[in-house]
Structure 1
Amino acid sequence: MTLKPALSAYLDFMRFIAAFAVLLGHMDQDGLAMAWMPLSWFSHEAVIIFFVLSGFIIYYSTTSRASSWQQYAVARMSRIYSVALPAVLACVVLALWLSHQPGFDPARYSNYSPPAVWDTFSSLLFINESWLNATFVPLNDPYWSLCYEVWYYVIFGAFLFGGKRRRWWLVGAAALIAGPAILVLLPIWLLGAWLAASGRYASGWTAGRAWLGFLGPVALIVLINTTDVDGLIQSYLYENVSGFWRLDASQRFVTDHLIGLALCLHIAAYSSLPAAVQDFFARHQGVFASLAGFSFTLYLFHRPMTQLLGAWYPQPVGAIWQTALLALGILLACWAVSWGTEKQLSHWRCGFSRVLTPRSGVLS
């Protein structure tokens, strides 16, 4: 099924808004008082948006374009490493530079950790969240969710291209390496893939049903966030389930799965909204594509910036104009960085293609 321009534009809009929410949330955490903007409250929920969108888009693009595991690997590796490799190296260099500054106090930076060879190596293999590895990218805690996504790509690719005899062996091996914390949120990614596979994002709903399906999930997510029910459930399980702490970033899995289901309903309902709504996104498809076009760089490069600014130029509550300008500055900085990362994607594709598919085409 073809992805209509209006839906494609809306998915791009969701991807940018999710990345922006993460930026605002981390600004607030790092001493740049941003709680005046309600979107900053939803940085965790934004990661669940990434997982659902990732499952949806990866399934759609892979089944419509990739015909071999080599093409799939080229597409995924070039997309990931075009941003992840520069981000990891930049954070290592920045952490080394900071550590040699006079009067350096690591306590001023919430995500600081001394650079280490194993941490860097495991980060580039995306095993930071696997079992009890507990390795970190200095100054860049958001990297954890990328480690989750990469193993979802590996598991999905193993299933799709592994062949009848080897498929489940490969899936099992990938799952074993990924570990429980990553696997417990895999169903959320698969929900997005299921939605793309089912084709249930097409139009055909009545107007009332469409608006209910579109706005109801938003209301549910706001309710979960503002009532802190996710934190209450997490605390209960932490205190009553032995070893629950091992799930690390997945400890809110109960409400995270509920949010994932809600987001699938939200996306499914979009194509049945009134034409005026869809026409708006279709007309501005280029704008939303441009915003989404640097969202990956925004996600992986913003946290070092918020920590430096928060440590050096903290902003008090009520400094609305100052924090708004800082947010705009970080957006522009990440957009500029993206010209050296994800906007160089074609070069990364060519490089990986020469290694993996020397005689075949490159997946676009």
Structure 2
Amino acid sequence: MKLQFKTAVCAAALTLSPLWAMAQQEPLKVGFIATLSGPSAALGQDMYDGFMLGIEQAGGKLGGREVEVLREDDQLKPDVAVQTVNRFIERDQVDLVGGVTFSNVMMAIAKPLVDSDTTFIGMNAGPAPLAGDRCAPNFYFASYQNDQQAEGVGKYATDQGYKNVYLMAPNYQAGKDAVGGFKRFFKGNIAGEVYTAVNQPDYSAEIAQLQAAAPDAVYVFYPGGMGINFIKQFRQAGLLGQIPLLSVSSFDGSTLPALKETALGAISGSFWGPDFDNKANQEFVQAFEKKYDRIPSQYAAQAYDAARLVDSALQKTAGDTKDKEAFRKALAQADFESVRGNFTFNKNGFPILDMFVFEVAKDAQGRVSHKTLSSALPGHPDSYVGTCPL
């Protein structure tokens, strides 16, 4: 009987060992970095709020492990971001780094992340080089590759029969990716291609130039405060409603609270909308609105998915991140219910996504939001994965 009792105890211990291991682990340290100040602070704040809601929805833990989030503002300054990430890695010894709002910041921190082999979970910025020849096995983007949304809008512009489209974006990596993606799928002529300074407040001169070009439509990429300033000035010039306005990451949940009716009728491309009717999204939107008293933006949705992604991977590794190969293999499986519906990683760590087109319109409660119009590019991979050596 003693032998049988000992065997039973051992069997029970083996069964409970993953749970026991989780209980013995130190809190999961996440170095969260985003733009949390200046004209684009709303983007980073939505990312943080979405990520923290994801942790809350998982019972305050990820993979059964307590979580310590170290939040830092990169101030949209690449040098500040590099210093912060080095501190995360060397002093704080984080288990993973996540976040990043802007692509110029992402490009700056890519090298220290790769050199240290630190696992990174992207929650917004998805610059083209990191999807192509500079892809890395420690990078997983729970967001998108910059060009993907723009490619969907380029396809939409072609389907609408627009012959001449005027393009505008800020002069940095994501702006160039957003223009390049649009041009890749638009089959008409480019009436003008203008790059403006990052966080430029006044677009009156550029708007006068585009008006003189008399395009069939205008396509812009102006995230955060840039989008607010641009569309207000576009409407003041009497052009909104006269010239179709197409965009990505310009008129969304992060900017619509400030724009309200000003943006009605604008077209936007994305892989997620607050009106998606899948269960995971309905639960997310309801919980976000209850907690933060506002409609979530795409930035919040991506970061919420990031928390669910990490949780799903840690469930498979019993909370362990030290075996990096096992943890990343679990991340690659993306075994979670995404708010966007379909979510599958490609070999470069970027997702294959269904791209949609939305109109800025009032929802059932009379609030200005996004209304899904159509599917543009279902099951769409990024355009750089073919050059990724992984």
More strand by share: 2
Superposition TM-score, scaled by structure 2 size: 0.26
More helix by share: 1
Superposition TM-score, scaled by structure 1 size: 0.28
